[in-house]
Amino acid sequence: MINLSILETKAVIIKTQDFKENDKLVWFYTEKLGKITAIVRGAKKSKSKFLALTLPLCYGEYMVYKGKNLYTLQEGKIINSFQGLLDNLHKLTFSSYLCELIDIACSDNEINVELFRNLVTTLYLLNTDALDYELLIRAFELKLLKSTGYNLTLDRCSICRKKISSSNYISLSYYGGVCDQCPREHGLFISKGTYNALRFLMNMNVDKLYRLNLNNDIKAEIEKVTTFLICNNYARKPKSLDMLNFIKE
């Protein structure tokens, strides 16, 4: 007799896919198990108890057990469905982008409690009108890059390691600022205001972003840095980036 142990964890649904006639495959980003894929039996039926529990963006408490290849959802309870994000094109696109970033940047079963909490906090803040959406997304991108091994070095020259207070150049090969003496190749010139804003965003909790007020030029330069790093260091370019650029035009 096989003894299947039930595992309980908080999770956000980052992606779903129809499976067979009535079932779904659901990708969860979880607090205790990392990114997992689960089969949800009968989730497509209109009277299924799992219908609301398996909507994209849903954040809840889930009970799963591990099969040979996939997890299976046993029970669940919604904490916040975040379905209000679906009513606003900008919020929907930004939240979809967050979920796609998690999907492409995180390996299966790789646990990162801090990144999980940053995702949940960012979704809560996105669901309000309290913050600049773009600034919120830039902050999350930087947290994600740091969590997955692509942190920017800004207090030292990323090449010679000499301490620097600021710079007007980011090396995209060495992941950080460059002093006046080191070669400036394969990178971007940015304003010192952008450099300082990058440092601030990297060290600040996302729920404190209301303290920061940046002009459009600085936000555009930060986006150039994060977009390059994301598109060149992960397995694929997020498709949501094209939609983000489209709705900004």
pLDDT at 208: 86
Residue 47 lies in a domain: yes
Can you give the pLDDT at residue 212?
84
**Does 1 reside within a domain?**
no
For residue 174, being part of any structural domain is answered with yes
Final residue of a domain: which of 81, 108, 126? Answer: 81
Residue 4: per-residue pLDDT: 63
Q: Are residues 106 and 16 in the same domain?
A: no
Q: Do both 196 and 152 map to the same domain?
A: yes
Task: Report yes or no on 157 lying in a domain.
Answer: yes
How far apart CA 141 and CA 134 sit, in angstroms, is 11
Which pLDDT score is estimated for 1?
A: 37
Domain termination residue (choose one: 24, 54, 81)? 81
Instruction: Note whether 56 and 132 are same-domain residues.
Output: no
CATH of the domain at 159: 1.20.1440.120
> Are residues 141 and 215 both part of a single domain?
yes
The residue behind tokens 């555009």 is 220
pLDDT digit string, tens, across residues 65-82? 998 889 999 999 999 999
How many other CB atoms are there within 10 angstroms of residue 168's CB atom?
Answer: 16
Q: How far apart are CA 147 and CA 141, in angstroms?
A: 10
What's the DSSP call for residue 52? Answer: G
- Please tell me the distance from the alpha carbon of residue 40 to that of residue 53, in angstroms, as a whole number: 10
Count of domains in the chain? 2
* Mean pLDDT of all residues belonging to the chain: 91
For residue 240, list its beta bridge partners: none
Residue 151 sits in the same domain as residue 120 = yes
Per-residue model confidence as pLDDT tens digits over 10-52: 999 999 999 888 899 999 999 999 999 999 998 888 788 898 8
Residues 150 and 196 in one domain: yes
Angle (CA) 15 137 123, round 5°: 55
Q: Please name which of 81, 44, 49 lies closest in space to residue 63, comparing C-alpha atoms.
A: 49
Report yes or no on 238 lying in a domain.
Answer: yes
Give residue 27's domain range. Answer: 6-81
- What's the predicted TM-score (pTM) here? 0.91
| CB-based contacts of 191, cutoff 8 Å, min separation 6 | 168, 217, 218, 221
Same domain, 100 and 189: yes
- pLDDT (tens, 9 = 90+) of the chain, 249 residues, equals 345 688 999 999 999 999 888 899 999 999 999 999 999 998 888 788 898 899 999 999 999 999 888 999 999 999 999 988 988 888 999 999 999 999 999 999 999 999 999 999 999 999 987 788 899 999 999 999 999 999 999 999 999 999 999 999 999 999 999 999 999 999 999 999 999 999 999 988 888 887 788 999 999 999 999 999 999 999 888 888 777 777 766
